[in-house]
Amino acid sequence: MKEFEVLLKTVADGLEAMADGIHVIAKKVVAIAETQAQEKPSKIKKATRTRKAKPVSKKVTKKSKIKGTRPLPATEKVLKVIKKSKAGVDNVTIAKKTGLDRKQVANALSQLKKTGKVKSVKKGVHAVA
């Protein structure tokens, strides 16, 4: 039991020494903050956030140049290509004909399947439901 008390006393002394060190550091931080507050603040420019432009397909660019028309959403483009094919169309062909990338085609197909407009005929081949 005596060893335990000695150990606790040693830990307590160590904690007190650490607390004293923290007080010294805190005083130095306060002193530095006060000296910086007395100096004139320099003009700091606000960081402007730039956004990366998404790649636009060639077909969308051509249509968007015509005044008063909006480009078709990806789901409508994909559905239009699928409707033209009787046997069904695969993802690569849809991407080529619409100018969309593979991820956009996959997302559009997923939405069209959820709404019941498109069904999978075979693996990777889609047709109108």
Q: Are residues 31 and 77 both part of a single domain? A: no
Residues 123, 74 share a domain = yes
Q: Establish if 54 belongs to a structural domain.
A: no
How far apart are the C-alpha atoms of 39 and 28, rounded to whole Å? 17
pLDDT digits (tens, 9 = 90+) for 78-115: 888 999 888 889 988 999 998 989 899 999 989 998 99
Burial of 2 (0-12, 13-18, 19+ CB in 10 A): exposed
Q: Is the pTM of this model over 0.95?
A: no
Range of the domain at 107: 69-128
Instruction: Please state the domain count of the chain.
Output: 2
CA angle, 59 then 66 then 70, to 5°: 70
Q: What is the pLDDT of residue 58?
A: 54
CA distances to 22, 39, 44, 99 from 79, in Å? 67, 65, 51, 14
Residue 113 CA to residue 39 CA, distance in Å, equals 64
